[in-house]
Amino acid sequence: MKNNKPVTFSGIQPSGELHIGNYLGAISQWVDMQGNYSCIFCIVDYHAITVRQDPKKLNKNIREIAKIYLALGIDPKKSVIFQQSSINEHTELAWILNCIARISDLNKMTQFKDKADKNQEKVTVGLYDYPVLMAADILLYNTDQVPVGKDQSQHVELSRTLAKRFNKRFGQTFRIPGLKLRKQGANIMGLDNPEKKMSKSAESKNNYIALTDAPEIAVKKIKKAVTDSGSEIKYDPKNKKAISNLLTIYSILDNKPINNLEKKYKNSNYGKFKDDLAQIVQNFLKEFQAKYNRINDKQVDQVLENGADKIRPIAKQTIQRVKSKIGIN
């Protein structure tokens, strides 16, 4: 990891199935950043246990997420892929940051409010503290850029706040990370409800296309997707939310600017547009799934182990620096 490239860090929880929103908003940016950044991509298993998990499924999901990263184009020769719990310094730094973070900071977190609201009985202290662990993940590696979807902006902002507060109190220690959002695609909306983001915890499976969906199921989901009134295929996210969302998905998957697509479908109706989009999604899934199925567990274990070994020294250095600043060394 010794080069002069800026550092990028991001992660995804090994909980449930990933969908094309996760790819378009987050992972597709990671793939593009690999040449220009020192990239570190994490499987955040300690974040996953902030809600109840079946231990067997969790263990399987950790490997599955690693396979998904690899099959989507994260190259272990260029990027580090690792499991959060294999580097102890994540939880160690989270504890120290807990003593910097204020209850008033965490009370502002909208994702906690949304999740706690749905689940009053079962909300854990871990779920409340989740953004502090995320700040530790980011700050441990002197991260410059955090590529995520829009729903994670507030959490990245908190990591900036904590870094600045720590630096102010104890002297320059942490690099201040930047948020990296896609210009288009940072907030892919649900196929059945374009008012709300595509989410794996949505009530209906028609809300999202999972990366593991059989291609013919994905085609049905596209055909069922809600459309706007009128028939024009035009990018207008205020007044035509549904078609703008479908145009965004099309544009990123097929690598074509949205205005080219508007021109292409100037005289077409929603039916033709959806048929073509369904074909593109189907091709994307087929290619992804073929790659995914070729990766075996042994390969994955090796990638995760090598990844952790490569970056552990950076984590150790940071925690030493932090502990000495606060007087514990």
Task: Catalog residues that contact ligand LTN under the rule CB under 6 A.
Answer: 9-13, 44, 47, 134, 137-138, 146, 148, 152, 155
> Is there a catalytic annotation at residue 67?
no
Q: Which residue has the tokens 């499976």?
A: 205
Beta carbons of 188 and 245 less than 8 angstroms apart: yes
Q: How far is the CB of 201 from ligand ATP (least distance, A)?
A: 4
Which of 200/323 has CB closer to ligand ATP? 200
The arrangement of strands across the sheet holding 145-147 comes to 79-83, 38-43, 7-12, 145-147, 178-180
Which entry of ligand ATP, ligand LTN, none binds 25, CB below 5 to 8 A by partner kind?
Answer: ligand ATP
Q: Residue 187 binds which entry of ligand LTN, ligand ATP, none, with Cβ cut-offs from 5 to 8 Å by kind?
A: ligand ATP
Q: DSSP letter for 228, please.
A: -
In the residue annotation, 183 being an active-site residue is answered as no
- Tell me how crowded residue 204 is: count the other CB atoms within 10 A of its CB: 12
Is 298 marked active-site?
Answer: no
Stretch that binds ligand ATP, among 63-71, 180-188, 214-222, 292-300 (CB under 6 A): 180-188
Q: Each residue of 276-309: b (16+ CB within 10 Å) or e?
A: bbbeebbebbeebbeebeebeeeebeebbeebbe
Report the residue from 85, 86, 199, 268 that binds ligand ATP according to the rule CB under 6 A.
Answer: 199
Select 137 or 192, whichever has its Cβ closest to ligand LTN: 137
Tell me if 191 sits within 8 A of 225, measured CB to CB.
yes
Q: How many CB atoms lie within 10 A of CB 269?
A: 12
CB nearer ligand LTN, residue 122 or residue 224: 122
Among the listed residues 67, 197, 274, 325, the single catalytic one is 197
| Residues annotated catalytic, as ranges | 115, 197, 200
